[in-house]
Copies of this chain bind each other. A is one copy, B any other.
Amino acid sequence: MRTNDDIWVREVGLRDGLQSIETIFPTEAKLDWIRLETDAGVPEIELGSFVPPKLLPQLADTKSVISAVGSEPTLHTSALVPNFRGAIDGFASGVQQLNYVLSVSEAHSQANVRKSVADAIADFGRICDYRKEHREHANVRLAAGLATVFGCTISGEIKVHSVIKVLEELLAHEPDEIVIADTVGFANPSQCREVFELVLSTVGDIPVSAHFHDTRGLGLANVGAALDAGVRRFDSSLGGLGGCPYAPGASGNIVTEDLVFMLESMGLKTGISLEGLLAARTCMVSYLTEEPTRGAFVNAGVPRGAVLASSVNRLGA
């Protein structure tokens, strides 16, 4: 039984991680990884993205992955869709949730998808309308993600009121979830508290997720601030896959196993087995060619005497 204080962790390594590295994982490798994270109790995995295969060959098998995973009793499946066309493919794929993402920065939106923010919002509206018109897709959940919320690599500072304005326009289309993303790793804890308090007071009962990158080392500190603001859903990537710590602009997601350890040690239940996550990590790493992974928990383990919140985790060593 989940309670209001339980934390929902979405593994995004198979999408945000894989799209940022050179190695192309065979479908079977992805399925091994997904199986182990499912066994570990991860409640949601973003299985891929409906972008043109030419753009992201790493994710070209998204449809096959979704089909092979099928319906698991404990796993909620989702996939990213960058536009209406991708969403149509997504609806047809059988995945349980589509995560649509737009940028709140006009400059970033134009540079990234050659579309104004207004047009990107309208696209989400079309996706929502499509679901209404096709009752066979009524059970597919639709998440609206806001990127560059904490700053933009092109235009710099993003004003909170412009985030709230975009949010309110998206809410008019009745999304099932809102994702607030620091895709470029600009956020700091003070800003997170301010933004998430305002977002949560704006959305009403709609679940809000936080998507942090660890570009400047502040990822888990931002999680702490978001928790304080009331956020209970987080995206993360096993082993922090996706950013190279030795390259300028490294931008990996926060590390799933470190996130889960932090939450569990704080008494917040994730339902996820850390032992299971480490097994999944070992599997994932075995398919990498030269990309480094990140994370501290993998080396240090559970502190002696520490009590973790979920019953799947034994007491500390």
Contact = CB atoms under 8 A, between A and B. Distances in A.
A196 interface: no
A304 interface: yes
Interface stretch (A61-69, A110-118, A223-231): A223-231
A93 to B, nearest CB: 35
Nearest to A157: B305
Interface in A26-50: none
A227 to B, nearest CB: 8
Interface stretch (A95-103, A124-132, A213-221): A213-221
A86 interface: no
Q: How many copies does the complex hold?
A: 2
Nearest to A228: B228
A contacts with B: majority SS: loop
Given A189-B224, A221-B221, A216 B266 contact: no
A275 to B, nearest CB: 15
Given A156-B316, A305-B155, A300 B185 contact: yes
A296 B190 contact: no
B185 A305 contact: no
Contact of A248 (B152, B300, B305): B300
